[in-house]
């Protein structure tokens, strides 16, 4: 499949987001359709599809860690990205929260894509603890808003992503490698044919109201690799970042010609048994050239109902607006009336404007 034909577009936003998108592109190889957007002109690389955000406002010097500047910059210029959207049916955004552009511009990009009827999935890292309070605050301040604007979001805490081993000096580089590796596997799952296919349309449907998700990948080889994969998935810190109930699960298995039916069964049963959810989807990719002898598993857990409760209709994804989970009283956490455009009150990663019984997933059984 060549670039123009692919219905999926990868967009790297902000300086670290651009580095992640490049990492995915390098790992995936030809046929990957991608674009990069930043307020910093220095991020541009010769021959790469680059969109400079906030040209007049920021003169190509970056948002300087200011979310509002990043957001305003994108608001005025995000339409420039339309030149990359011909035939795009699903956009995957990779970004790093903590600076001004990753947070601010991602929010505007997801909103813009939604207005165009293009669903978006956001993979966003959140800062290392050692980066300090300002960056943590920057990150927390936009998470709920991005979640509201995009169809599905994965927030990946850098602390958990690479653990606390290794040198601090190369922590960022390793983190980018891990995120890029995970997103590349996700990409292959959709774009490379497998026995149980996950194509863009099926994914669009699945992600329509997916909401906040958890994402992990593992790669194993050797005897007992299926058991090892299940065990590592179950121990994954990335899947333990939240304890909210799982509404739907997607499990992807990528392997070479030696993938056994019994291995597929073991992994599917293991993941289904560990995380449950109303719906469980399985996809496999057979790619001998890339995975010979190895086996990779991608697991996505979603906390909002996809097709389980309240039946999301396939066409509704065209609105680009994901359905928020509803409590028993039918009150959604999105503000209404005079609160419609109010900024959420975030405390310890929780949106306090959302009624407690919804935040805590309690059913009032009325
Ligand atoms: N991999 C990698 N990650 C980085 C690097 N610098 C920062 N990060 C991570 O990315 C987050 C956002 O930083 P940047 O990407 O520099 O910020 P930005 O989105 O470009 O925003 P502004 O620079 O303020 O316009 C940080 O809080 C870090 O967690 C880097 O050099 N490499
Ligand atoms: Mg920057």
d(CA 359, CA 362): 8
Q: pLDDT tens digits for 256-281?
A: 999 999 999 999 999 999 987 778 88
d(CA 90, CA 30): 19
Measured in whole angstroms, how far is the alpha carbon of residue 194 from the centre of its chain? 22
* Tokens 């039916």 belong to residue: 261
Ligand 1, residues 13, 16, 133, 155: which to mutate, most atoms within 8 A of Cβ?
16
DSSP state of 99: B
Q: What is the pLDDT of residue 354?
A: 60
Q: What is the pLDDT of residue 314?
A: 34
Query: Which domains, from first to last, does the chain contain?
Result: 8-191 (3.40.50.1440), 206-302 (3.30.1330.20), 326-360+362-366 (no CATH)
Q: pLDDT tens digits for 293-341?
A: 999 999 999 987 543 333 333 333 333 334 343 333 323 334 444 444 5
Q: What is the pLDDT of residue 320?
A: 35
pTM score > 0.85 for this model? no
Backbone angles phi, psi at 148, to 5 degrees: -75, -35
Q: What is the pLDDT of residue 344?
A: 60
Beta sheet of 8-13, edge-to-edge order: 50-52, 34-38, 8-13, 90-96, 120-126, 152-157, 211-221, 294-302, 248-255, 279-286
Ligand 1, residues 96, 140, 161, 181: which to mutate, most atoms within 8 A of Cβ?
96
d(CA 231, CA 229): 5
**Which residues lie across from 153 on neighbouring strands?**
122, 212
Whether the CB of 54 sits within 6 Å of ligand 1 = no
Q: What is the pLDDT of residue 227?
A: 97
d(CA 234, CA 178): 18
Whole-number Å distance, alpha carbon 57 to ligand 2 midpoint, is: 15
Whether the CB of 62 sits within 6 Å of ligand 1 = yes
Atom 1 in ligand 1: residue holding the nearest Cα: 172
What residues in the chain have per-residue pLDDT under 70?
1-4, 305-366
């Amino acid at each position: 499949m060549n670039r123009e034909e692919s219905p999926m577009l990868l967009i790297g936003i902000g300086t670290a987001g651009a580095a992640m998108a490049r990492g995915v592109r390098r790992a995936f190889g030809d046929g990957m359709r991608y674009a990069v957007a930043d307020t910093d002109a220095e991020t541009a690389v010769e021959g790469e599809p680059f969109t400079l955000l906030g040209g007049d406002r920021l003169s190509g010097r970056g948002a300087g860690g200011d979310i509002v500047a990043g957001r305003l910059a994108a608001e005025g210029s995000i339409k420039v990205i339309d030149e990359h959207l011909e035939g795009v049916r699903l956009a995957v955004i990779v970004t790093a929260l903590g600076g001004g552009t990753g947070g601010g511009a991602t929010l505007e990009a997801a909103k813009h894509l939604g207005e165009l009827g293009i669903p978006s999935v956001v993979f966003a890292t959140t800062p290392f603890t050692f980066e300090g309070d300002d960056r943590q605050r920057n990150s927390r301040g936009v998470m709920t808003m991005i979640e509201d604007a995009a169809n599905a979001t994965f927030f990946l805490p850098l602390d958990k992503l690479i653990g606390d081993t290794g040198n601090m000096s190369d922590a960022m580089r390793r983190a980018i490698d891990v995120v890029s590796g995970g997103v590349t596997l996700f990409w292959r799952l959709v774009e490379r044919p497998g026995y149980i296919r996950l194509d863009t349309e099926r994914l669009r449907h699945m992600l329509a109201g997916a909401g906040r998700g958890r994402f992990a990948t593992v790669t194993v080889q050797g005897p007992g690799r299926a058991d090892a994969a299940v065990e590592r998935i179950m121990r994954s810190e990335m899947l333990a970042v939240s304890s909210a109930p799982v509404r739907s699960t997607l499990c992807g298995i990528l392997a070479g010609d030696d993938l056994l039916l019994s291995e597929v069964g073991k992994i599917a049963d293991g993941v289904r048994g560990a995380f449950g959810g109303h719906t469980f989807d399985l996809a496999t990719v057979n790619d001998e050239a890339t995975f010979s002898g190895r086996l990779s598993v991608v697991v996505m857990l979603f906390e909002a109902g996809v097709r389980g409760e309240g039946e999301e209709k396939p066409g509704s994804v065209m609105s680009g607006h994901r359905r928020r989970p509803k409590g028993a009283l039918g009150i959604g956490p999105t503000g209404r009336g005079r609160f419609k455009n109010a900024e959420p009150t975030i405390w310890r990663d929780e949106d306090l404007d959302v009624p407690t019984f919804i935040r805590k997933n309690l059913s009032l059984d009325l």
